[in-house]
């Protein structure tokens, strides 16, 4: 029905109905002005102080020429300034482009150039990389500021983010109306198959996802959460940190997931809630401080990024009996949550990714996008307001991902009769050996059952006879010696012969990205020669 309202009335209605990510910190500050919002290093700020800092920073960004729709790159480890910039950009409608701090200058330059950034913020230790990337991307004249983490660093052309946040200035909210589907984030995927893709997320995507996390993850304003995984990744940023701000919970920000620092923070801050991928939960269990740290305040534990080995889950339940666990499954394009396995389902449905969260519909389809019945493996697809607006400046990949009106995840999975999803593998991680398909995860689960295994990664390498050979890299527990014969004998007792590794390699650690995901690409490259020798 066409509107008969004047443009002035339409604009007034839009202002009254606005509900964007940038509004969250103000509304929480109105509800809980004096409540502790953020702990970061020696800094402890209330929600009222947080909101004021966000507004000062937003006005400074505007004064530097950044406006709604412009892109600001952020290259930094977790810190107070990162938290402020997330909401300062959102209040202006500026699109934040968080960049993986492990990337080299050439990789950063690609993102800066592709995103067409209008400014950049980098922590002091990464200013050299940022300068090289900006020069390569021919963006020498954009505004830039550094995060000096309390120190002073004289870098020509770089302002101090601290000045943007702390110098006296306007603490009122910027007068910018941000629409539901105005892009607010440009999150670059890891680029496992090609160049990274820019995933566009709007307030509608993010807020719908925050609601799903809060409801199905039993989150509340009473939570005190430690955030140690990278905020440049949407799991820590949008499943946990931003939801805590929305609800009024307290966030303790650590620069990274160092096990000793993480355990100490839980004890010191009496944290009730913690998210970590399985690799980090394993590192906590194996750390010498685990049993002598007071973790009695913890009540909620979350994992994601990869499946939790069943034996590790059982150990967590035994050693942290008061903690309830949730498995969050999704991906950047889903902002990122898609399905959840809840506490009472952890052991009865062990290894499952759960069922769709409250704002998501999930199905399994075949190669022709026909729906498959329970028990049959196919691609996992979703319908949800969580979903990305599309891939920035890439019509072809966007059309492919959204064909048929569903978002295609690229993951293979199967639904059981009760509607629980099991993720079989990424399409690229399915090993095709001797004419048979082998799910790397299934082999990993079998190896984890062997006493003395701390971590394992299973992948395929090129082989002249088998096409791909199942290969396992095993990390033994400290003080334990394992042999290839032990591992193979154990796997043969649990799996069909064709699923058994052709090669078993032992290592002291597995390569991981800052989000805790095991880098199977690196392992494939490192051990490719095994197949060539056959």
pLDDT in tens, 236-253: 999 999 999 999 999 999
- The reported pLDDT for the residue numbered 433 is 82
Ranges of H-type helices in 202-302: 203-216, 234, 242-247, 259-269, 278-286
- The reported pLDDT for the residue numbered 521 is 81
- The reported pLDDT for the residue numbered 351 is 85
Angle made by CA atoms 141, 147, 149, in degrees to the nearest 5:
160
- The reported pLDDT for the residue numbered 193 is 44
- The reported pLDDT for the residue numbered 267 is 98
Judged by average pLDDT, the poorest of 41-55, 425-439, 473-487 is 425-439
pLDDT in tens, 122-150: 999 999 999 999 999 999 899 999 999 65
Strand pairing report for 378-383 and 361-365: antiparallel
C-alpha–C-alpha distance, residues 214 and 292, integer Å: 31
Closest CA to 328 of 437, 201, 424, 238: 238
> 234 and 336 in contact (C-beta within 8 Å)?
yes
Q: How far is CA 449 from CA 39, 272, 313, in A?
A: 39, 30, 12
pLDDT bin (cut points 50, 70, 90) of residue 428 is low
In this predicted structure, the answer to whether residue 508 has a pLDDT above a threshold of 70 is yes
The verdict on residue 83 lying in a domain is yes
**How many C-beta atoms lie closer than 10 Å to residue 454's C-beta?**
19
Residue 327 structure tokens: 């498995």
- Longest CA pairwise span in the chain (Å): 79
The verdict on residue 55 lying in a domain is yes
> 391 and 187 in contact (C-beta within 8 Å)?
no
pTM for the predicted model, two decimal places: 0.84
Average pLDDT, stretch 258-264? Answer: 97
- Domain's final residue, options 202, 231, 265: 202
Percentage with pLDDT > 90 across the chain: 78
Structural domain count, the chain: 2
The verdict on residue 360 lying in a domain is no
- The reported pLDDT for the residue numbered 472 is 96
The verdict on residue 118 lying in a domain is yes
- Domain's final residue, options 202, 222, 256: 202
Sheet hosting strand 159-160, strand order edge to edge: 159-160, 144-147, 119-123, 71-75, 95-99, 183-188, 198-202, 390-391
pLDDT bin (cut points 50, 70, 90) of residue 222 is very high
The verdict on residue 412 lying in a domain is no
- The reported pLDDT for the residue numbered 179 is 94
Higher pLDDT, 216 or 516: 216
The verdict on residue 520 lying in a domain is yes
Which range in 155-169, 395-409, 516-530 is most confidently predicted, on average pLDDT?
395-409
Higher pLDDT, 504 or 531: 504
User: Which residues form the domain of 509?
Assistant: 434-532
C-alpha–C-alpha distance, residues 294 and 253, integer Å: 19
- Domain's final residue, options 202, 220, 246: 202
pLDDT in tens, 12-61: 998 999 999 999 999 999 999 999 999 999 999 999 999 999 999 999 99
In this predicted structure, the answer to whether residue 191 has a pLDDT above a threshold of 60 is no
Average pLDDT, the chain: 92
The verdict on residue 498 lying in a domain is yes
pLDDT in tens, 152-189: 556 788 999 999 998 888 899 999 999 999 999 999 98
Higher pLDDT, 177 or 103: 177
The verdict on residue 164 lying in a domain is yes
C-alpha–C-alpha distance, residues 142 and 140, integer Å: 6
Q: What is the CATH number of the domain that holds 115?
A: 3.40.50.12780
Counting Cβ atoms within 10 Å, is residue 288 exposed (0-12), middle (13-18) or buried (19+)?
A: exposed
């Amino acid at each position: 029905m066409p509107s008969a309202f004047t443009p002035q009335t339409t604009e007034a209605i839009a202002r009254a109905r606005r509900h964007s990510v940038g509004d969250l910190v103000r509304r929480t500050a109105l509800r809980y002005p004096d409540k502790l919002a953020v702990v970061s290093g020696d800094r402890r700020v209330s929600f009222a102080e947080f909101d004021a800092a966000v507004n000062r920073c937003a006005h400074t960004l505007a004064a530097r020429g950044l406006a709604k729709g412009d892109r600001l790159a952020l290259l930094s480890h977790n810190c107070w300034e990162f938290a402020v910039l997330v909401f300062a950009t959102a209040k202006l409608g500026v699109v934040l482009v968080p960049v993986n701090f492990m990337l080299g200058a050439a990789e950063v330059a690609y993102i800066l150039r592709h995103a067409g950034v209008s400014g950049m913020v980098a922590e002091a230790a990464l200013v050299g990389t940022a300068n090289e990337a900006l020069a390569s991307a021919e963006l020498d004249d954009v505004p830039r500021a550094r995060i000096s983490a309390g120190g002073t660093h004289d870098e020509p052309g770089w302002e101090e983010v601290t000045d943007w946040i702390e110098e006296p200035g306007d603490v009122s909210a910027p007068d910018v109306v941000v629409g539901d589907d105005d892009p607010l984030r440009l999150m670059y995927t890891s680029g496992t198959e090609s160049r990274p893709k820019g995933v566009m997320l709007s307030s509608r995507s993010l807020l719908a996802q925050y609601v799903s996390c809060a409801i199905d993850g039993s989150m509340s304003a009473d939570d005190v959460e430690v955030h140690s995984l990278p905020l440049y990744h949407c799991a820590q940023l949008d499943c946990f940190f931003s939801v805590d701000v929305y609800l009024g919970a307290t966030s303790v920000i650590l620069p990274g997931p160092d096990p000793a620092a993480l355990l100490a923070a839980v004890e010191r801050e009496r944290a009730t809630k913690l998210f970590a991928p399985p690799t980090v939960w394993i590192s906590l269990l194996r750390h010498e401080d685990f049993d002598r740290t007071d973790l009695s305040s913890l009540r909620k534990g979350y994992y994601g990024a990869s499946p939790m080995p069943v034996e590790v889950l059982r150990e967590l339940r035994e050693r942290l009996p008061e903690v309830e666990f949730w498995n969050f499954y999704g991906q950047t394009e889903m902002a990122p949550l898609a399905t959840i396995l809840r506490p009472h389902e952890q052991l009865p449905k062990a290894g499952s990714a759960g069922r769709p969260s409250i704002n998501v519909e999930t199905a399994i389809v075949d190669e022709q996008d026909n729906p498959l019945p329970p028990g049959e493996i196919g691609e996992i697809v979703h319908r949800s307001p969580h979903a990305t607006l599309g891939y920035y400046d890439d019509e072809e990949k966007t059309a492919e991902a959204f064909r048929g009106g569903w978002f295609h995840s690229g993951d293979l999975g199967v639904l059981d009769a009760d509607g629980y999803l099991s993720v079989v593998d990424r399409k690229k991680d399915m090993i095709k050996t001797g004419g048979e398909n082998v799910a790397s995860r299934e082999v990993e689960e079998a190896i984890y059952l062997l006493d003395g295994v701390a971590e394992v990664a299973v992948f395929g390498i090129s082989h002249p006879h088998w096409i791909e050979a199942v290969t396992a890299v095993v990390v033994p527990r400290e003080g334990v010696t394992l042999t290839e014969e032990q591992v193979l004998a154990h796997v043969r007792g649990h799996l069909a012969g064709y699923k058994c590794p052709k090669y078993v390699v032992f290592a002291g650690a597995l390569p991981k990205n800052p989000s805790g995901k095991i880098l199977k690409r690196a392992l494939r490259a490192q051990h490719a020669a095994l197949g060539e020798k056959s």
